[in-house]
Amino acid sequence: MWVNVDQYGSITQAARLMNVTQSAVTKSVADVEREIGYPLFDRRARGVATTDAGRVFIVRARRITADIEQLIEDSRAQRTAREMALRLIICPSSLEGLLNRAVRSFITTSPGCRVHLFASTIERGIEQLRQGDVDICLGARDRLEAIAADPIIVPDLQGPCIERILGLVNPLSVSSMRQLHILENFPMVAEIVSAPDAIGIVSNGYSTTVAFRQRFRVLPFGLGAPMPLAAATRARWPATRQMTLFMSALEKHPLTGLPR
């Protein structure tokens, strides 16, 4: 308040322009003067005049006020920039294709936002979420099981079905790992699986498409219940509008790839 008093040269005018009572401004000035031990203003018949010591104090106060205002403005700009980009991480990378419909829906309904999609292990995904490097972490809530036979190709050792595969692929061998191909590149996997006696793992949604049926067939293995998936955000930070819109897109287009 006392900065405005200096600017207008009048407690009455400063109070009127700040839409507060004159007594509130007078008390604020008196409180500051009592705290610093010297007067900021000389009271005169018409208004006030800033003392020499008060001038030094107020000049510094103006700089501090300007710094605070700039900090607030910079923070607003940074928040706007953050809300213009939605950072997603999918764990493991083999699940990335399940996001196709949800991401397309989100981008269509949010043309002003840019999606930054990454893929990693679940451990790395959780770490990046905790550090604030991503907004939403998506992945398997539990590791699922699957039955397999013949040579198996898996994208990584963090994905679904791994535990059951490791337990059933030649359990008498020294190492079940030796029975697996670990290949992440899907076009490469598709070419290999096209050969006889090779099995790959795909999402249920993709396995029902015409493109899949033209090249492959589904083996009648009992896979059990669909793999539960989850989307995690940081609880201590409020969700941005873009995060809320993306979660709505996931509701319409679940990661199973199938409509509800």
Question: Is residue 220 domain-resident?
Answer: no
pTM above 0.75, yes or no: no
Lowest mean pLDDT among 54-63, 90-99, 133-142, 225-234: 225-234
Tokens of 108: 């269509």
Give yes or no: residues 101 and 204 share one domain: no
Instruction: Identify the domain containing residue 13 by its residue range.
Output: 2-76
Question: Is residue 30 domain-resident?
Answer: yes
Q: Nearest 5°: CA angle at 200, between 197 and 202?
A: 145
Q: What is the pLDDT of residues 65-89, one digit of tens each?
A: 888 888 877 776 666 656 678 889 8
**Kind of pairing, strands 85-91 and 114-119?**
parallel
Question: Is residue 225 domain-resident?
Answer: no
In the predicted model, what is the mean pLDDT of residues 22-47?
88
In the predicted model, what is the mean pLDDT of residues 94-98?
80
The secondary structure of residue 143, as a DSSP letter, is: -
Q: How confident is the model at residue 37 (pLDDT cuts 50, 70, 90)?
A: very high
Question: Is residue 221 domain-resident?
Answer: no
Measured distance CA(205)–CA(209) in Å, rounded: 7
Closest CA to 240 of 82, 126, 34: 82
Top-ranked range on mean pLDDT: pick from 43-47, 158-162, 246-250: 246-250
| pLDDT of 176 strictly over 60 | no
Which residue shows structure tokens 């059990």? 224
Measured distance CA(192)–CA(213) in Å, rounded: 16
Other beta carbons less than 10 A from residue 155's beta carbon: 22
With H, G, I as helix, E, B as strand and everything else as coil, classify residue 139. Answer: strand
Identify the pLDDT of residue 18: 85
Cis peptide before 238 (omega within 30 of 0): no
Number of domains in the chain: 3
Question: Is residue 259 domain-resident?
Answer: no
